[in-house]
Amino acid sequence: MREYKLAVCDDQQCFIDEIKVFLKAYVSESKNKVIVSEYHSGEELLEDIEKNGLDKDILFLDVEMPGKTGIAVAEDIRKNYPDTVICFITSHEDFARIAFDVEALGYLMKPVEYQKLRDLMKRCTTQVQYQRNAREAERQYIEIKVRRGTAILDVEEILYVEKRKNQCVFHMEDGEVLSYMTLKQARQLLDDTVFCTVHQGYIVNFHHIKEVKSNSVCLGKNREVPVSRRNQEILRKLHMKKIESIRLNGNLAPECLHEM
């Protein structure tokens, strides 16, 4: 089951209710999970985004609303959220041409028909999944500076990164890669929910930690990295939590390492 967050913005409650009913039918048919939020004006939606950010995958915007129109709202959203999937709800097909200016994926005509909504949702969810897969691919590989240009590394194979003067060494499962970048630059490339700074000059892939000792972490095959006294206790608790999660669930639960 895949989950999608969707917002419907329309000044008429009857149309919001109609779409929500159709979305329930879509959920039952598709087996996807759709979390629906409703807004009754463009200003209300934009105020929420300004306050909390935009965490919605898909937006359904009514074109004709008092105050800011759906087109104006979409233009504002596109400035900071270029990848959000936007669709319009309209009573006039002429607005379809304007929709291209804000890269809308499609539109629904009022009164809304279930088959049209279902077909549009299929296109929307396909686009959202494509974007999710692209972001996941970006997290899976990083490009680093080496002596003769750049190298692409599989993030999962990085055991730890070590500072060496003004360079850093990526210790991989099958060898080492010397990079002409600072440790700070390397840190910015790595996911901070997976990689943690355990000691001055060392960044470790949390998933590869086998044991946390009093002054070091073990990564298997006689590889150890020093750990500071400040980080040792935090890391030990997170490591024990990881072991417990694997024991109970059979998989590795994502950990938050931001406090390190």
- Asked if residue 233 and residue 194 are part of one domain, the reply reads yes
Do 15 and 133 lie in a common domain?
yes
Looking at residue 73, what is its pLDDT? Answer: 96
End residue of a domain, out of 138, 167, 190: 138
pTM of structure = 0.62
Give per-residue pLDDT as tens, 211-243: 999 899 999 888 999 999 888 888 888 888 877
Both 174 and 232 in one domain: the answer is yes
Residues 61 and 188 in one domain: no
Q: Which of 81-95, 119-133, 186-200 has the lowest mean pLDDT?
A: 81-95
φ, ψ of residue 118 to 5 degrees: the values are -60, -45
Mean pLDDT of 157-169: 93
Distance CA 242, CA 207 (A): 9
Confidence category of residue 249, pLDDT binned at 50, 70, 90: low
Largest Cα–Cα distance of the chain, in whole Å?
69
| 255 within some domain | no
Outline where DSSP puts E strands in the chain.
3-9, 33-39, 58-62, 85-90, 106-109, 141-146, 149-154, 158-164, 167-172, 175-179, 195-199, 202-205, 211-212, 216-218, 224-226
Residue 56, SS3 per DSSP: coil
pLDDT at 95: 60
Helices (H) and strands (E) in the chain, counts: 7, 15
CA distance 142 to 137: 9
| Structure confidence at residue 97 (pLDDT) | 59
Asked if residue 98 and residue 170 are part of one domain, the reply reads no
Answer yes or no: is pLDDT of 75 > 70.
yes
Cβ-based burial of 60 (10 A; exposed 0-12, middle 13-18, buried ≥19): buried
- 126 and 192 together in one domain: no
DSSP 8-state secondary structure symbol assigned to residue 112? P
The fraction of the chain above a pLDDT of 70, given in percent, is 90
- What range defines the domain where residue 216 resides? 147-249
Domains in the chain: how many in total? 2
pLDDT band at 106 (very low <50, low <70, confident <90, very high): confident
Average pLDDT over residues 66-74: 94
Give pLDDT tens digits for 33-58: 999 999 999 999 999 999 999 999 99
Q: Which of helix, strand or coil describes residue 44?
A: helix
Co-location of 153 and 98 in the same domain = no
**Does any domain span residue 256?**
no
Indicate whether 190 and 126 sit together in one domain: no
Residue 254 in domain? no
Asked whether residue 171 is domain-assigned, the answer is yes
End of a domain among 138, 161, 182?
138
CB contact at 8 A, 167 and 179: yes
Q: Is residue 164, in this structure, part of any structural domain at all?
A: yes
The whole-number pLDDT of residue 254 equals: 47
- Rounded CA-CA distance 59/84 in Å is 8
Say if residues 73 and 42 touch (Cβ distance below 8 Å). Answer: yes
Average pLDDT, the chain: 89
Do 94 and 203 belong together in one domain?
no
CA 111 to chain centre: 34
User: Are 10 and 123 found together in one domain?
Assistant: yes
Rg of the chain over Cα atoms, rounded to whole angstroms, equals 24
Strands 158-164 and 202-205: what pairing? Answer: antiparallel
**Residue 258 belongs to a domain:** no
CATH number (domain holding residue 41): 3.40.50.2300
**Same domain assignment for residues 158 and 36:** no
User: Could you tell me the pLDDT band of residue 258, with boundaries at 50, 70 and 90?
Assistant: very low
CATH classification at residue 191:
2.40.50.1020
Same domain, 16 and 107: yes
* Res. 162: pLDDT tops 70: yes
| pLDDT (average), residues 83-105 | 78
What type of residue sits at position 109? M
In the block, residue with structure tokens 């909390």: 52
Average of per-residue pLDDT across 146-160: 91
